[in-house]
Structure 1
Amino acid sequence: MENQYDIIVIGSGPGGYTGAIRAAQLGYKVAIIEKYSTLGGTCTNVGCIPAKALLDSTEHFHKAKEEFGLHGIELDNGLRLNFGQFIARKDGVVKSNTSGLNYLMKKNKIDVHTGLGSFIDNTRLRVSNGGTEIILTGKYFMIATGSKPSSIPGVTIDKKRIISSTEALSLPGQPKSMVIIGGGVIGVEMASVFARIGTEVTIIEYTDTLIPTMDRELGKALFKTLGKLGIKTLLGSKVKSADNMGEQAVVKFDDHSGKEQEITADYCLVAVGRRAYTDGLNLKAVGVETEKNGKVKVDSQLRTNVDNIYAIGDVIAGPMLAHKAEDEAVFVAEVINGQKPHINYNLIPSVVYTWPEVASVGATEEELKASGVPYSSGSFPYSASGRARAANDTDGFVKVLVSPRYGEVLGVHIFGPRAADVIAQSVVGMEYEVTAEDMYRISYAHPTYSEALKDAYLIASGQGAINI
């Protein structure tokens, strides 16, 4: 059986399904290949969406336990967590999203082929599913196969006691204790989920700060907030091994002073990053070149060295973010269509869904110092925000970095309530080169969390804050 298409997309995560839909909108005959039985990739099934579902659930639980009394809300019959329903709600959210993707594929007349895609040559792709096999022919291909959890020497993920974030999202019961290796985005989000429901959590991080790729002030603030949840964070520590002992896991590491230590917990969650996933694509057969780290080499048009094959998202260089993959997917579809789209990689925001949330766009203060770029900084605390006080969410701050010469906004860093949403305004401003003065002169609704931005811009411009 042979099927012919204009564009074949391999992988159905946020990048894959977005690229397929955009290509179909542009009039192309499109197929999408997915090795698993459901669409959506890591993000929809075992990443962004289920993680945020659990984060929201645990935040409700934590507020009920710690803050409802302050609001005059009394729980006369006590408070308990139904762990089964906790996980079931997450599963329902995932199912709703995957069902939505099935609808979108049908609506846009995109053919879905389930199985492992493997290149035969630069025009033919073999799709294998159990004992069945079909051959698809395409004019163009988009590789969007995403990434898988990675590990470190001495630590093997067995999916039983030594787990990745995938297994952590569907544990059979609430653990009493957990060790998390890695203090990046995944590590601190999973730490928040379990600490809020009473699990004793320890984070072991190799560097001297949490979320090390972001502005250091954000990491320092997050360290303090996670401490309030009872999370123990060990910075500057190197994990040497993790072993499954049957009912528990044992993690051995050297602490910041070089002394060997040992921790025993119900689970060891490995959150040290992800690796590009191209297994089974048979890239050598078609001649697609890869980097030493396994990522696919692409040019400025996201084209591989094979003219009609493109790659996007986690399989190429850059941050592993779902919205980056989506932007790249649309970019590729429009490039194939002869358009001239653009992506400003400096203005792709990063978000951490702890509470308070962390959000960042543009340059960090450390990057500006290292490159010798002059800047002025303006920081405004949420403790001075009327909206934050009303919600009892006063932890955090907004920091903006501004060029003193022209008022260009160089970076915005937020640690505070609804930071993931508030950052969008700064992305728009920076994309269209709006100055700091422009940003503080526009009208901000009162009272809102976004007013903190206005005051930060005022302070960075040499003026005082004017809002509460």
Structure 2
Amino acid sequence: MSKYDYDMLVLGSGPAGESAALNAAKHGQSVAIVESLPLVGGACTHRGTIPSKALRHMVRQAIRFNEMPIFREIGDPRTLTYPKLLSHAKDVISRQVSMRSRFYYRNGIRVINGRGRFEDAHSIAVVNEDGQVDTVTADRVVIATGSRPYRPADIDFDHPRVYDSDTILDMTNTPRKLIVYGAGVIGCEYASIFSGIGIKVELVNTRDRLLEFLDDEISDALSYHLRHLGVMIRHREIYKSVEADDAGVTLQLQSGKRLQADALLWCNGRSGNTEDLNLGAVGLEVDHRGQIVVDDHYQSTVDNIFGAGDVIGWPSLASAAYDQGRAAAASARGKEQCRFVDDVPTGIYTIPEISSVGKTERELTEARIPYEVGRAFFKDTARGQISGETVGMLKLLFRVDTLEILGIHCFGAEAAEIIHIGQAIMKQKNGGNTLRYFVSTTFNYPTMAEAYRTAALNGLNRL
């Protein structure tokens, strides 16, 4: 009989917390999960990945309807209001919550609603919404409390015209013009969503180019297509002040420019949700972003406390968080080997979407690795022509001598799906990762996947 209430206690029910709890339960451990929100799923389900992708899907459907001439025989172009889009997102969220709640029930995992704070390394006090405190003990603890949008102190986020990427899901009107400050992944995704429903968007980027971690050619393509949607992109700009009143919002930039709009969406940085955990009680420190530091077994500096997901920082992706949670649970139960998640594909759900895995041209050039490029343009594929999804390309980077694939970069419809074919080949050992796979394999026709064969042949023709 254990001297603790549970073998494992998980703080947070987002992707990392969910996968950690399920992994522990599947291995016969008693598990409880503490969730500060009334419903499970974390920010991923309620404020991040799921609602934003549901919004994007509906916008993309409307764009396709409005751009295809055959639909003009059915009726006039359709415009969507933002509240209508949100109603679809809420339906998806509801289904996600229902599904995830069943996971916990079927696996005998207790869900405790409230905010958890450490009393010591094995004791967590959970404060519910009524202020009642319940202390729960566990042999091991996984911190998976996620992150939230960073809010500078000099900006009034209580003003009804000023939003961050969480509160934008509460906006009840459709502004004519919107300023998006911060051109990271979230900022670019929302810029394409809002411009897709006819809202004028000013996208303020603090850096030299959009999403600098991408291959330059893909970044350039994103810039072009956002501008094609009507987005005004401003690079190398830093805010000085934000003024909001009943008439609108004014963003004063350090360069002297003054941008005016009906609303402001702040998308510049995220912070780990650790400030309420009372980490000082167990001797845990956080960095300037509120993130906890873990080793390659997801173990913190306190032996029985582990971390996973956004609260530990990079790469801050739901896809990685699921794997990190499983790895953290494995380490917590004493498994010596666990997968350290460091080879995550990039999936960016702009319009059109972007996905990549491996090295960029810039990285290979700086490392002085000889490589060649193979390209396939979606406009030249039969499936692209049939579906009307002619924007985009697949790009393969490979070694000149061995034909080993070094990087794959995709821009266009279903890029995040297409990338996994190449990712699977790149993971092959003993010489299996080679461009020749794509020219010696028969692909279904017509498909977007056959772009791999086209790109491989294009690359081989350059040798």
Contact 1:207–1:235 (8 Å) recurs in 2:
yes
1:278 is matched with 274
What letter is aligned with 1:422?
I
Indicate whether 1:298 and 2:297 are aligned: no
Contact 1:357–1:417 (8 Å) recurs in 2:
yes
Contact 2:331–2:338 (8 Å) recurs in 1:
no
Moved more, 365-374 or 269-278: 365-374
The secondary structure found in structure 2 opposite 1:53 is helix
Q: How far does residue 17 in structure 1 lie from its aligned partner after superposition?
A: 0.9
The secondary structure found in structure 1 opposite 2:127 is strand
Structure 1, gaps ≥5 residues long: none
Q: How far does residue 77 in structure 1 lie from its aligned partner after superposition?
A: 5.7
Contact 1:152–1:272 (8 Å) recurs in 2:
no
2:308 is matched with 312
What letter is aligned with 1:189?
E
Q: 1:355-391 CA deviation, whole Å, 9 max, x = no partner?
A: 2210011122222222333322222221221111111
The secondary structure found in structure 1 opposite 2:54 is helix
1:10 is matched with 11
Q: 1:95-146 CA deviation, whole Å, 9 max, x = no partner?
A: 1111111111101110000111111111111111132111111111111011
Alignment of 1:301-340 (within 5 A): 301-339=297-335
1:238 is matched with 238
Output the CA distance in 1 between the equivalents of 2:6 and 2:342: 34
The secondary structure found in structure 2 opposite 1:92 is helix
User: Which of 383, 386, 409 does residue 379 from structure 2 map onto?
Assistant: 383
Q: 1:424-464 CA deviation, whole Å, 9 max, x = no partner?
A: 11222222242222243222211111111222233334469
Q: How far does residue 300 in structure 1 lie from its aligned partner after superposition?
A: 1.3
Q: How far does residue 64 in structure 1 lie from its aligned partner after superposition?
A: 2.0
1:289 is matched with 285
2:409 is matched with 413
Output the CA distance in 1 between the equivalents of 2:140 and 2:352: 43
What letter is aligned with 1:305?
T
Contact 1:62–1:196 (8 Å) recurs in 2:
yes
1:374 is matched with 370
The secondary structure found in structure 1 opposite 2:170 is coil
Indicate whether 1:211 and 2:207 are aligned: no
Indicate whether 1:33 and 2:29 are aligned: no
Contact 1:159–1:167 (8 Å) recurs in 2:
no
Q: How far does residue 74 in structure 1 lie from its aligned partner after superposition?
A: 2.0
Q: 1:307-365 CA deviation, whole Å, 9 max, x = no partner?
A: 11100111114211011111111112222344455436442011111222100111222
Sort the Cα spacing of 1:410 and 1:344 in 2 relative to 1 into closer, same or farther, 3 A: farther
What letter is aligned with 1:112?
V
Moved more, 442-451 or 107-116: 442-451
What letter is aligned with 2:171?
L
The secondary structure found in structure 2 opposite 1:137 is strand
Q: How far does residue 247 in structure 1 lie from its aligned partner after superposition?
A: 3.5
Output the CA distance in 2 between the equivalents of 1:160 and 1:80: 24
The secondary structure found in structure 2 opposite 1:448 is coil
1:133 is matched with 133
Contact 1:202–1:232 (8 Å) recurs in 2:
yes
- How many percent identity over aligned positions? 32
Output the CA distance in 2 between the equivalents of 1:401 and 1:344: 25
Contact 1:204–1:235 (8 Å) recurs in 2:
yes
What letter is aligned with 1:314?
D
Indicate whether 1:355 and 2:354 are aligned: no
Output the CA distance in 2 between the equivalents of 1:158 and 1:455: 52
Contact 2:374–2:458 (8 Å) recurs in 1:
yes
Sort the Cα spacing of 1:78 and 1:210 in 2 relative to 1 into closer, same or farther, 3 A: closer
Contact 2:249–2:263 (8 Å) recurs in 1:
yes
Indicate whether 1:79 and 2:78 are aligned: yes
What letter is aligned with 1:220?
D
Q: 1:180-226 CA deviation, whole Å, 9 max, x = no partner?
A: 01111111111111111111111011112112222221111011111
Q: How far does residue 169 in structure 1 lie from its aligned partner after superposition?
A: 2.1
The secondary structure found in structure 2 opposite 1:319 is coil
1:88 is matched with 87
Output the CA distance in 1 between the equivalents of 2:248 and 2:278: 39
Q: 1:242-286 CA deviation, whole Å, 9 max, x = no partner?
A: 2212331111124xxxx4211111111111121222121111110
Moved more, 211-220 or 133-142: 211-220
Output the CA distance in 2 between the equivalents of 1:167 and 1:357: 24
Contact 2:327–2:340 (8 Å) recurs in 1:
no
1:51 is matched with 52
Alignment of 1:176-215 (within 5 A): 176-215=176-215
What letter is aligned with 2:121?
N
What letter is aligned with 2:170?
S
Contact 1:49–1:94 (8 Å) recurs in 2:
yes
2:165 is matched with 165
Contact 2:65–2:71 (8 Å) recurs in 1:
no
Structure 2, gaps ≥5 residues long: none
Contact 2:296–2:340 (8 Å) recurs in 1:
no
What is the TM-score normalised by the length of structure 1? 0.92
For the aligned residue pairs, the C-alpha RMSD in angstroms reads 2.0
1:457 is matched with 456
Q: 1:142-161 CA deviation, whole Å, 9 max, x = no partner?
A: 11011111145854533622
Contact 1:437–1:458 (8 Å) recurs in 2:
no
Sort the Cα spacing of 1:126 and 1:265 in 2 relative to 1 into closer, same or farther, 3 A: same
Q: How far does residue 3 in structure 1 lie from its aligned partner after superposition?
A: 6.8
The secondary structure found in structure 2 opposite 1:169 is helix
Contact 1:398–1:453 (8 Å) recurs in 2:
yes
What is the TM-score normalised by the length of structure 2? 0.93
What letter is aligned with 1:91?
K
1:123 is matched with 122
